[in-house]
């Protein structure tokens, strides 16, 4: 059976000059503040990617996200090991689009079957009397 230490009441110091009081202060601990600077630069890039996507493709699909993971590991002497990782996901460009037709042989073609029917040859469009063949004046 493991021996448990008796719980001790934590000593709260009201005026601790080393206390970390904000999330920004926590973020500046990682890599000597470089992690926060990189995070903010990557965040700015993500927002720019959203704007660029909106300009090029419209607002549909202009989505992005980031995931921030902070893990803690408490040491035996009361020391706290911390790790932070940020992953950014920008908008996805829409799939390219094209249009073509399928001909009678099942092949792709740029020539419309409707155009092929329209260009099937000349036809007489002159109004005439079907019994006598006489051309009518309009």
pLDDT score of 135? 80
pLDDT score of 60? 87
Q: Render pLDDT for 61-97 as a digit per residue (tens, 0 to 9).
A: 899 999 999 999 999 998 999 999 999 999 998 888 8
Which of 12, 30, 136, 19 is CA-nearest to residue 82? 30
pLDDT score of 42? 97
pLDDT score of 122? 67
pLDDT score of 87? 97
For residue 33, give the DSSP letter. Answer: G
**Distance from the Cα of residue 97 to its chain's centroid:** 18
73, 60 in Cβ contact below 8 A?
no
pLDDT score of 27? 95
27, 39 in Cβ contact below 8 A?
yes
Q: Of 14 and 28, which is predicted with more confidence?
A: 28
pTM of the model: 0.62
Domain ranges of the chain: 23-89
């Amino acid at each position: 059976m493991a021996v448990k230490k008796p719980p001790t009441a934590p000593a709260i110091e009201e005026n601790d000059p080393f206390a970390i009081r904000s999330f920004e202060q926590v973020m500046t601990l990682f890599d000597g503040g470089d992690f926060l600077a990189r995070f903010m630069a990557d965040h700015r890039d993500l927002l720019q990617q959203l704007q660029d996507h909106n300009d090029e493709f419209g607002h549909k699909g202009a989505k992005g996200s980031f995931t921030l993971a902070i893990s803690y590991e408490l040491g035996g002497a009361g020391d706290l090991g911390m790790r932070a990782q940020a992953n950014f996901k920008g908008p996805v460009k829409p799939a390219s689009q094209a249009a073509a037709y399928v001909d009678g042989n099942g092949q792709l073609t740029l020539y419309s079957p409707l155009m092929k029917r329209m260009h099937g040859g000349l036809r007489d469009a002159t109004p005439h009397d079907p019994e006598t063949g006489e051309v009518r004046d309009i």
